[in-house]
Chains A and B, each alone.
Chain A
Amino acid sequence: AAGVIQSPRHLIKEKRETATLKCYPIPRHDTVYWYQQGPGQDPQFLISFYEKMQSDKGSIPDRFSAQQFSDYHSELNMSSLELGDSALYFCASSFARGQVEAFFGQGTRLTVV
Chain B
Amino acid sequence: SQKIEQNSEALNIQEGKTATLTCNYTNYSPAYLQWYRQDPGRGPVFLLLIRENEKEKRKERLKVTFDTTLKQSLFHITASQPADSATYLCALLTGGGNKLTFGTGTQLKVEL
Residues of A bordering B, CB below 8 Å? 4, 31, 33, 42-43, 45, 48-50, 55-56, 58, 88, 90, 92, 94, 96, 99-107, 109
Number of contact residues on B: which range applies?
Answer: 20 to 34
Using an 8 Å CB-CB cutoff, how does the interface string of B34-58 with A read, 1 for contact, 0 for none?
Answer: 1000000111111001000000000
Does the CB pair A58–B44 fall under 8 Å?
no
Q: Which residues of B lie under 8 Å from residue A96 when comparing CB positions?
A: 97-98
Return the contact of A104 from the options B45, B49, B95, B103 (Cβ within 8 A).
B45
Determine the residue in chain B with the shortest Cβ distance to A88: B41
Using an 8 Å CB-CB cutoff, how does the interface string of B82-98 with A read, 1 for contact, 0 for none?
Answer: 00000001010101111
Q: How far is the CB of A98 from chain B (nearest CB, A)?
A: 11
Does the CB pair B98–A106 fall under 8 Å?
no
25 A–B contacts, CB within 8 A, in A order = A4-B43, A31-B98, A33-B100, A42-B89, A42-B103, A43-B44, A45-B100, A45-B101, A45-B102, A48-B99, A55-B96, A55-B99, A56-B98, A58-B99, A58-B101, A90-B44, A92-B100, A94-B100, A96-B97, A100-B34, A102-B44, A102-B91, A105-B43, A106-B42, A109-B41
Does the CB pair A45–B99 fall under 8 Å?
yes
